[in-house]
Structure 1
Amino acid sequence: MKSIPKIELHLHLEGGAPPAFIRGIAKEKGTDLSRIFREDGSYSYKDFWHFLKVYEAATSVLTTPEDYARLTRAVLEESAENGVVYSETFISPDFCGGGDVAAWREYLHAMEETAAKAEVELGITLRGIITCIRHFGPEKAKPIAECAAQTKGSFITGFGIAGDELIGKPKDYLWAFDCAREAGLRLTAHAGEWGGAESVRDAIRDLNVERIGHGVQAITDLALVDEIAEAGITLECCPGSNVFLGVFPTWREHPIETLRERGVKVTVSTDDPPFFHTTMSAEYDRLADTFGWDEEIFDEINANALAAAFCDEDTKDRVAKKLKKGT
């Protein structure tokens, strides 16, 4: 599956950090992060909420633009190795300068410069979606939206929200989303991973997003599923993540195929791949084994992703050519 060209729309930049990379940065800075790793070197956590704490602990050693340049390169190398030709990554100025626009610009420059070099050397295109962190609260989301609005461009093309879905309601973050919308950014929101079908309905109604991160718990409300299909809203599905964290007990019980059969535009992503012991190639392998997905269906999935991508038409044309070369 590595040789199939792929598009990934749902990837957290820090969540893509290989454990060895984070251990190396921690060692350079004299920081003891042994508590977040297992003996085999992988990340260690008990459940989703503990995962959020481990994620933030790992991110805590990434304190300079250079750190984020190195991180960007490490993540893109892994993605390219697994056939990804276009990726969108969630980035939060909360972790890159604390929401200060001037500091954020320095981090952004480092990441964008690295991504441009990787596009030439690795053949992978990267775009950034600035995300506020839900469990940091609505007030913290406002400067993050301002960072997004002031740095919108060819690289920063979207705005979203991630974090603990059980904290607050989507409408609490309306100011931030309105700010991003007025700046011309495309919108997505994490919902329906832990918050149930109603969280998906709330995000669509209150934030007026065109994509939903995960969204898979919508399956418990088939009327909502049909509404999503009719509205043409794209779901950024991450089945390996969902199964690993226990949102669904097995791959066979994951609803991605049922959603697809009901006309929903589903896509495939890894979410936080080293945390969940997955890659884009592994996701494709499991989908083929579990649901019998073949080349035609994977072409459909990538077509969905390309149509929903938050990039300009020239970039889409270039990516489309890379997808065709792989057929």
Structure 2
Amino acid sequence: MSGLLPKVELHLHLEGAAPPGFIRGLAAEKKVDIARIFDERGNYAYDDFWHFLKVYEAATEPLKTPEDYHRLTLAVLEESAAAGVIYSETFLSPDFCGGRDLSAWREFLHAIREAADLAERRDGIVLRGIVTPIRHLGPEKAKEVALCAAETAGDWVVGFGLAGDEKSGKPKDFSWAFDAAREAGLRLTAHAGEWGGPESVRDALRDLRVERIGHGVRAIEDLALVDELAERGIVLEVCPGSNIALGLYQDWRSHPIHELRERGVKVTVSTDDPPFFHTTMAREYDRLATAFDWDEGVFDEIAKTSAKAAFCDEKTRENILKKLEKAHA
């Protein structure tokens, strides 16, 4: 069932979606030694979330040029399309793409967009970008990222977020960057409620005034917060396979996505960094169907919730919704 259903993904890190074989091949071309980040089977290897962050950043070492990102984008979108994704939003960071230099960022962005356009023609998948500072690099660098985002905001760069180590600083430290992005017309999301607990969700909502929360699952530990999320229509970008792979929850049955949905919270499903967590959007659907007896109607509802919460323009949204309607007609 899962492979046939059209899917909408709102929480995908571009570098984190790089197939390990792609990164190994690129590293060999450039004579960059990153063998330490792979296991004996050639998969990414890490011990916990904080080690995962280091491995993630090491995996970006071979990604040096706009052409590298062009190739990366094509590889990632080919995998997503094969899993049934028709629309995706990906986190992009000028920290990795040109060191927060605006002219370099424009070149990287142009290469990524060219690849996205090619993938759309080839596979029918639509991609949009959410510019994201790396939280543990600090608020001053986030300001530079926000300026890059503001200068390139438009029909393709549609959002601004915050990723990285949730235990590094407080959301309010990044309020200047989010204010700048908001003034540029960008829609806002932030990672919270993964490692920082329910209070981190409250902080992101209050101090950054976001309309979506990346992960957000630990809100379940505070039912008053769950009620608030439901009442305000805050959308959670839930990545169950990621949460389970990193040890946040023991197994699929214990993941709170089902209870959050039952309590009226708008939940969506994404893969986060799929090859790191041995998942795809099709696998997420399969495991959720098994764990919670979700049927095609539930997944249709989740895909439509995702499409309505997407940061794209209305014409693009209408096209996505038409594809979803057609698939379930």
Counterpart CA distance in 2 for 1:178 and 1:313 is 23
Which amino acid is the alignment partner of residue 180 of structure 1? A
**Per-residue deviation at 1:324?**
2.1
Which amino acid is the alignment partner of residue 231 of structure 1? R
Alignment gaps of 5+ in structure 2: none
Name the residue aligned to 2:117. 116
Alignment gaps of 5+ in structure 1: none
Which amino acid is the alignment partner of residue 326 of structure 1? A
**Per-residue deviation at 1:303?**
1.2
What secondary structure sits across from 2:274 in the alignment?
coil
Task: Provide the TM-score with structure 2 as the length reference.
Answer: 0.99
**Per-residue deviation at 1:153?**
1.0
Determine if the alignment matches structure 1 residue 189 to structure 2 residue 197. no
Conserved 8 A contact 2:17-2:273:
yes
Counterpart CA distance in 1 for 2:227 and 2:267 is 13
Name the residue aligned to 1:55. 56
Counterpart CA distance in 2 for 1:316 and 1:184 is 17
Q: Aligned-pair RMSD on alpha carbons?
A: 0.5
What secondary structure sits across from 1:11 in the alignment?
strand
Name the residue aligned to 1:171. 172
**Per-residue deviation at 1:163?**
0.2
Name the residue aligned to 1:16. 17
Counterpart CA distance in 1 for 2:122 and 2:275 is 23
**Per-residue deviation at 1:250?**
1.1
Which amino acid is the alignment partner of residue 189 of structure 2? T
Name the residue aligned to 2:247. 246
| Aligned 1:20-35 pairs, distance under 5 A | 20-35=21-36
Counterpart CA distance in 1 for 2:223 and 2:187 is 26
Counterpart CA distance in 2 for 1:229 and 1:167 is 28
What secondary structure sits across from 1:162 in the alignment?
coil
Name the residue aligned to 1:276. 277
**Per-residue deviation at 1:321?**
1.8
Conserved 8 A contact 2:32-2:61:
no
| Aligned 1:221-260 pairs, distance under 5 A | 221-260=222-261
Indicate the percent of aligned positions where both proteins have the same amino acid. Answer: 70
Which amino acid is the alignment partner of residue 68 of structure 2? D
Counterpart CA distance in 2 for 1:48 and 1:311 is 30
**Per-residue deviation at 1:320?**
1.3
Conserved 8 A contact 2:249-2:255:
yes
Which amino acid is the alignment partner of residue 7 of structure 1? V
Name the residue aligned to 2:154. 153
Over residues 33-79 of structure 1, what are the superposed CA-to-partner deviations in whole Å (9 max), with x where a residue is unaligned?
Answer: 11000010000110000000000000111000000000000000000
- Between the two proteins, the alignment pairs up a number of residues equal to 327
Name the residue aligned to 1:46. 47
Counterpart CA distance in 1 for 2:307 and 2:323 is 11
Counterpart CA distance in 2 for 1:170 and 1:20 is 35
Counterpart CA distance in 2 for 1:209 and 1:255 is 21
Name the residue aligned to 2:292. 291
Counterpart CA distance in 2 for 1:120 and 1:316 is 18
Counterpart CA distance in 2 for 1:321 and 1:116 is 20
